[in-house]
């Protein structure tokens, strides 16, 4: 459904808790419709009251003009005789009245979609009819009275056409066992829908709502009321449009159709198994539909994890057409997908389960653990129970014995499972486990084919051996130039050679990852010749500019080799890391450029800056950031802070569970960037280290930011994933307390945040740690705050073995896992006399036997409008 503003249309909740929020965003090439909730929520706010005698419906001029131009114009019909003229006039009047009724019907549907209400007080209903009449007469159309448009059909006094129990959208949805419109919507979808079948199914669905009131439900007035409710409840907008199109030949709101499918990377698909089974060979033809369905669902899951949406509504048709075209190109009969019940509507997830109708309504996570335990080759039974596991879950969640609803519920559960995994580059293993394909018929993802244009696909992604050779030659030339211009000591040169050696193998490690290689000319144009007006940050390894490339706002980091001896190493370390790891909670690297003594990295631009910008705002614009690009600090309420913590935990858990494992090494407030929805994204991977999962630790030079470094790492240089856990614990404490890790000018017992938190925990006074700005929320979220601070204390425990894993942190934050009792307070972490100063020109000492001789501000400034205000970083 469409809201009265052009960008979105929202379902709000009725007094009994019905809630559906459906947003149609302004469509560009990458447009999508927001997900909705279509189940009640206890304590939901009541819809806004209707002032006495006022009409809450909005009649759009676009709808009235459409009726005038398509059905109410005398030019739409011609006649060759008097009799024919009379018949033509009668036909015109009929079609015109139908369209005027459609104007009212759509206005009622929009309002029902916003509020859940189907009926209005009589005085308001009368006003609405009069308002519509005035609008159509002003447009030169006949008065609504000539079309028998009356207020009784939607008034509370006379409009209860389906009985007292069916007067709201929620009533209809609940009466249909939470399947309204259910599978009916699919039959109405698409430009080629069989509207005869659609309208029959709509009528039958309404009749099924009460066997003892069939006559009442079959009445024209009840059918009209129920049809409004059905369109209001339909999800997503494309399904609602299909219903409206078959009933009144109108759309609720138009959805611009894309001309190209950008949701999927078709070149990643391996069609071999499908060709063998569905093609002329007919090898195990009985598995053909399993393969077709599995391949399509796997691509939907990939799109979901990349965008958080299953499929853009404007792309559902073109993506399906391209899918079919790809199959036909492989010799598969064009009707095969439909025979296998794969249609353009398959990507819309419009049905769901009994209590979980959309992706936003997450099913209990214990089901995801069932999948994880039974649907991988590593499971004890080698996938033998995967199929039955999904059937059992679908049966339990669907609360319906219909095969269609069971399948739809299973589909939603699987997609939520993929999203729970949080991986963008999804393996086909769960699909292979479920279908138990015989040897030689497994679904696989293949590397991008050779021959792709190097101007569009980065060589880091390994799309062609020729482009890879070009990049390596450029790198070698840059390295030689640097060696000649900036002579290095042997140890430093060996380190640079090691960096280049890693780059030479990057192609093999990140096969299939898309990165674009830009020219300096492109980046110069995008940033207005690297104008100071486009500068958004300055850090230890270069400057960050905001620019526009291909119509998209991006951040461009200029890492200058000469200004920092580690600049090249950190830049390429970041390329290697972000090219290999992709996750919703990691910042997206779009491409890179090598030019002279500069390494340019291009990222997505996150306008909300970093957590530090909002949690600890400063009164003046930071150095290196022009005022026009500064971040406007927002108050972070507790749910937003929890959201940030959870996103950060998921991002780190992903890094720690990948192969090879990745340790970030610089987790801090200013390296957690925020989307406009305040979703967290980890950034600045210049210090990240990739390690073998079997390695217990990595011994390395100490690097990171003071206040976030784990004691054992500072004391021994031994780096493990528990070092990141410690840093995450400090971030949690900062989120809870609303401050940075150290406050040298604060009370003596509060200078160092972890020590102060442990002192409060000892005295059972953890509530004193909470940010005073959250005072008004403490009663409502007291349990959540206590849980978060206890998780934080576990993470910053001196003994690394006590710290949970990042996956356990995420599970505890979500309430999937109990928070263990806090152990005894650890030994003192730092002495007061050794605290680091926040003065950028001062040094810091360590109390654990290791003194830092050259501390400097940490990070590269980020690639957003954020800058680093944290305490010292150790180079």
Catalytic residues: 666
Q: Are 120 and 113 in contact (CB under 8 A)?
A: no
Give CA–CA dist 101/109, Å, rounded: 12
- 382-415 burial, b for 16+ CB within 10 Å, e for fewer? ebebbeebbeebbeebbebeeeebbebbbbbbbb
Q: Are 678 and 609 in contact (CB under 8 A)?
A: no
Give CA–CA dist 359/13, Å, rounded: 18
622 by DSSP, 3-state: which? coil
Residue from 320, 324, 300 nearest 310 by CA: 300
- The pair of three-digit structure tokens given for residue 748, joined into one six-digit string: 């003596």
- The pair of three-digit structure tokens given for residue 597, joined into one six-digit string: 């003594």
Q: Are 594 and 476 in contact (CB under 8 A)?
A: no
Q: Are 20 and 38 in contact (CB under 8 A)?
A: yes
CB atoms within 10 A of CB 142: 15
CA distances from 474 to 454, 467, 500, 599, 716 (A): 14, 11, 11, 12, 38
Residues 6+ apart with CB under 8 A from 609: 631, 673, 674, 862, 864, 865, 866
Give CA–CA dist 601/591, Å, rounded: 6
For CA atoms 807, 813, 817, 823, the dihedral sign is positive
Element (H, E) at 554: strand 552-560
Chain CA centroid to CA 288, Å: 32
Element (H, E) at 557: strand 552-560
Give CA–CA dist 389/370, Å, rounded: 7
Give CA–CA dist 188/602, Å, rounded: 44
Element (H, E) at 590: strand 589-595
720 burial level (CB within 10 Å; 0-12, 13-18, 19+) = buried
Residue from 697, 708, 722 nearest 802 by CA: 722
For CA atoms 471, 477, 480, 481, the dihedral sign is negative
Give CA–CA dist 221/626, Å, rounded: 63
For strand 598-604 and strand 552-560, is the pairing parallel, antiparallel, or unpaired? antiparallel
Residue from 787, 710, 712, 809 nearest 754 by CA: 710
CA distances from 771 to 628, 739, 741, 838 (A): 29, 8, 13, 20
For strand 516-517 and strand 589-595, is the pairing parallel, antiparallel, or unpaired? parallel
Q: Are 738 and 772 in contact (CB under 8 A)?
A: yes
Determine if residue 557 is labeled as part of a ligand binding site: yes
DSSP letter at 749? G
Q: Are 808 and 786 in contact (CB under 8 A)?
A: no
Q: Are 683 and 587 in contact (CB under 8 A)?
A: yes
Give CA–CA dist 553/575, Å, rounded: 19
CA distances from 539 to 486, 557, 670, 741 (A): 21, 10, 12, 20
Indicate the annotated binding residues for ATP. 557
Indicate the annotated binding residues. 557
């Amino acid at each position: 459904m469409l809201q009265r503003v052009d960008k979105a249309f929202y379902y709000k909740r009725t007094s009994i808790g019905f809630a559906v929020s459906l947003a149609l965003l302004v469509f560009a090439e990458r447009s999508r419709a927001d997900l909705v909730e279509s189940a009640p929520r206890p304590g939901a706010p009541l819809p806004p009251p209707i002032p006495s005698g006022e009409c809450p419906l909005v009649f759009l001029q676009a709808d009235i003009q459409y009726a005038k131009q398509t059905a109410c114009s005398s030019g739409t019909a011609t006649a060759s005789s008097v009799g024919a003229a009379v018949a033509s006039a009668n036909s015109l009047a009929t079609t015109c009245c139908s369209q005027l009724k459609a104007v009212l019907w759509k206005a009622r549907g929009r309002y029902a979609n916003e509020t859940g209400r189907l009926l209005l007080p009589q005085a308001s209903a009368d006003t609405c009819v009069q308002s519509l009449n005035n609008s159509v007469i002003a447009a030169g159309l006949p008065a609504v009275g000539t079309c028998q448009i009356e207020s009784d059909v939607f008034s509370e006094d006379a409009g209860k056409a389906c009985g007292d129990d069916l007067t709201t959208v929620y009533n209809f949805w609940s009466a249909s066992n939470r399947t309204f419109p259910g599978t009916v919507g699919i039959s109405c979808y698409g430009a080629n829908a069989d509207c005869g079948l659609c309208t029959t199914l709509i009528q039958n669905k309404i009749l099924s709502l009460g066997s003892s009131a069939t006559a009442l439900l079959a009445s024209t007035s009840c059918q009209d009321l129920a049809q409004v409710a059905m369109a209001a409840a339909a999800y997503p907008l494309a399904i609602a449009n299909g219903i409206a199109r078959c009933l009144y030949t109108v759309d609720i709101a138009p959805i611009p159709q894309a001309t190209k499918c950008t949701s999927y990377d078709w070149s990643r698909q391996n069609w071999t198994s499908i060709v063998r089974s569905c093609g002329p060979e007919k090898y195990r033809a009985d598995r053909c539909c399993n393969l077709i369905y599995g391949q399509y669902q796997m691509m939907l899951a990939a799109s979901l994890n990349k965008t958080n949406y299953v499929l853009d509504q404007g792309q559902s048709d073109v993506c399906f057409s391209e899918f079919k075209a790809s199959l036909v190109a492989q010799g598969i009969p064009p009707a095969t997908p439909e025979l296998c019940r794969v249609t353009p509507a398959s990507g819309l997830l419009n049905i769901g389960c009994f209590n979980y109708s959309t992706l936003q309504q997450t099913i209990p996570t214990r089901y995801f653990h069932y999948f994880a335990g039974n649907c991988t080759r590593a499971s004890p039974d080698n996938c033998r129970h995967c199929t039955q596991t999904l059937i059992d879950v679908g049966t339990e969640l669907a609360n319906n014995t219909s095969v269609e609803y069971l399948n739809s519920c299973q589909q939603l559960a699987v997609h939520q499972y993929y999203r729970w995994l949080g991986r963008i580059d999804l393996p086909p293993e769960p699909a292979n486990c479920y279908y138990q394909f015989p040897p030689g018929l497994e679904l696989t993802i293949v590397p991008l084919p050779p021959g792709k244009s190097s101007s569009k696909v980065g060589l880091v992604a390994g799309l062609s051996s020729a482009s890879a050779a070009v990049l390596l030659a450029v790198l070698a030339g840059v390295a030689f130039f640097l060696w000649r211009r900036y002579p290095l000591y042997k140890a430093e040169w060996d380190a640079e050679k090691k960096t280049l050696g890693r780059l030479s193998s990057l192609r093999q490690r990140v096969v299939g990852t898309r990165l674009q290689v830009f020219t300096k000319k492109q980046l110069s144009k995008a940033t207005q010749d690297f104008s100071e007006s486009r500068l958004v940050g300055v850090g230890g390894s270069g400057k960050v500019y905001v620019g526009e490339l291909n119509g998209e706002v991006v951040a461009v980091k200029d890492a200058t080799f000469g200004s920092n001896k580690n600049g090249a190493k950190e830049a390429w370390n970041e390329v290697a890391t972000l090219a290999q790891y992709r996750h919703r909670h990691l910042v997206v690297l779009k491409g890179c450029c090598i030019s002279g003594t500069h390494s340019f990295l291009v990222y997505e631009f996150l306008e909300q800056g970093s957590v530090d910008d909002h949690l600890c705002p400063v009164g003046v614009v930071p150095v290196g950031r022009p005022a026009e690009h500064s971040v406007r600090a927002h108050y972070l309420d507790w749910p937003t802070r929890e959201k940030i913590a959870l996103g950060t935990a998921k991002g780190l858990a992903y890094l720690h569970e990948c192969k090879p494992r990745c340790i970030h090494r610089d987790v801090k407030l200013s390296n957690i960037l925020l989307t406009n929805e305040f979703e967290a994204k980890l950034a600045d991977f210049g210090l990240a280290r990739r390690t073998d999962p079997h390695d217990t630790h990595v011994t390395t030079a100490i690097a990171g930011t003071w206040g976030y470094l784990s004691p054992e790492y500072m004391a021994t240089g031994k780096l493990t994933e528990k070092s990141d856990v410690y840093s995450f614990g400090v971030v949690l404490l900062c989120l809870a307390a609303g401050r940075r890790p150290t406050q040298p000018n604060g009370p003596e017992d509060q200078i160092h945040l972890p020590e102060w938190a442990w002192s409060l925990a000892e005295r059972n006074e953890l509530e004193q740690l909470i940010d005073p700005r959250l005072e008004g929320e403490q009663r409502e979220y007291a349990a959540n705050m206590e849980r978060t601070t206890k998780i934080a204390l576990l993470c910053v425990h001196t003994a690394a073995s006590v710290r949970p894993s990042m996956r356990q942190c995420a599970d505890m934050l979500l309430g999937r896992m109990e928070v263990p009792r806090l152990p005894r307070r650890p030994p003192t972490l730092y002495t007061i006399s050794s605290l680091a100063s926040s003065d950028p020109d001062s040094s810091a000492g360590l109390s654990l036997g290791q003194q830092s001789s050259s501390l400097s501000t940490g990070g590269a400034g980020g690639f957003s409008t954020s800058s680093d205000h944290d305490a010292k970083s150790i180079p």
